[in-house]
Structure 1
């Protein structure tokens, strides 16, 4: 298994001989307006450049997984640059209709037992914030678990905070590698949209033997948790040996 952080929630996963692109945000720095979230609203998104060219990112991709369709996970450049015949997995039929309308020809809704080229892809639950009003605004999201006889189990949690649903997914699948969106991004005064440092620590306590990769950091204007702060927190809580916080472009092999 090879996992490369690209930018924000965008990662590349090589798994059982196949190459997956997760949640592509492929625009140049500053192409989109800031999110109206009460922080850094004078800075356009993405707030940093890609670490490599779009052509290099999408080269030889076998499938794309979209955990949901917010702009910072599926943007206009991804719609334009990805081959329209590529396999695209989405969370539900509503998202499938939209992605098909964008011109993609092979769109499939993830299920509890989706099989792609011998790889089991399992849709997982998530909550994109806390509180009924915020969850309604943010809409449905998902994560995905990868399983194959020749690979470690991988859990990509997606845009979710820590709650009992994440605990259930960990209990059900016992993942050895966990990717968390961990920038503690916020929406106005309504609170966190994704995991902060305490959420990451809860995941570690639930899966103490798993390696955790923290992504979705310092890339769009409404982040509040830096890589440096999360690293320091991991050291304070004594789980830094299990916590990986990649710079954009950095990769790991497990």
Structure 2
């Protein structure tokens, strides 16, 4: 079975081709971090704990995908567990030095595409915000995984942009995982997808299952699951919005 399990925030376990890909592991305890600098909500994060143990999450992975190295996508707890696992960690070329210095034993940069155990792993682009804000956030990537006729696109920390549209247009993935939550700094536009961005993904020509994650775990992500579900229903659009710990079957029709 091909399936996705949301752990928390952007951390997912993706089962494809008999492998389990761990994406962007944020495994620190709840309230471990001060509020994200430059945001208006002073609450410490993660706002919620893990639905299962961090060791169990890492142990289940046969490979790891890192979209970028912001702490809410790769934290110290994840690094500590991954140092003891001889699993490949696929990443942006710009992040190799940092990941190696942090002690990960098998770091594999992906420029465009690589192949591993029957899965084509393609790195995609994105925009972590708009204009100068996106420049400050640094380079981010997404991942397009292909096995046979199945394609899963994990867009990463990006707003709706030409790079996302290009993947949908050229590759036509059947499953798209988007980081919603509408994360915001004090000034500027959102730096992850809000409802309108999610709906643009749904409405783009073609047929796909859209799964929204990156919700209700960080202090500066204001869009809730309930709000997104309500807005999607009002717009007549179908968006899968899993709870933490929920496993979603993919390619079921």
Give the TM-score, by structure 2 length.
0.95
Higher mean C-alpha deviation, range 53-62 or range 217-226: 53-62
Asked whether the 8 Å contact 1:84–1:103 carries over to 2, the reply is no
1:158 aligns with 2:159: no
Instruction: Specify the alignment match of 2:203 in structure 1.
Output: 205
What is the number of equivalent residue pairs in this alignment? 248
Tell me how far 1:72 sits from its aligned partner.
Answer: 0.1
CA RMSD, 1 decimal: 1.1
* In 2, Cα distance between equivalents of 1:16 and 1:84: 20
Q: In the TM superposition, what are the counterparts of 1:1-254 in structure 2 within 5 Å? A: 1-41=2-42, 43-82=43-82, 83-92=84-93, 94-131=94-131, 133-149=132-148, 152-240=150-238, 243-254=239-250
- Structure 2: any 5+ residue segments left out of the alignment? none
Tell me how far 1:40 sits from its aligned partner.
Answer: 1.6
Superimposed CA distance per residue, residues 98-130 of structure 1 (whole angstroms, 9 cap, x where no aligned partner): 101111121111232210111000000000001
Superimposed CA distance per residue, residues 17-61 of structure 1 (whole angstroms, 9 cap, x where no aligned partner): 0011000000000111110233321x1111111111112211231
Superimposed CA distance per residue, residues 40-90 of structure 1 (whole angstroms, 9 cap, x where no aligned partner): 21x111111111111221123111110000000000111111235221011
Asked whether the 8 Å contact 1:86–1:104 carries over to 2, the reply is no
**After the TM superposition, which segments of 4 or more aligned residues of structure 1 sit over 3 Å from their partners?**
none
- Structure 1: any 5+ residue segments left out of the alignment? none
Give the TM-score, by structure 1 length.
0.95
Superimposed CA distance per residue, residues 109-166 of structure 1 (whole angstroms, 9 cap, x where no aligned partner): 12322101110000000000011x20121000000101011x5210000000001111
Superimposed CA distance per residue, residues 186-207 of structure 1 (whole angstroms, 9 cap, x where no aligned partner): 0111120100000011111115
Asked whether the 8 Å contact 1:37–1:186 carries over to 2, the reply is no
Asked whether the 8 Å contact 2:129–2:192 carries over to 1, the reply is yes
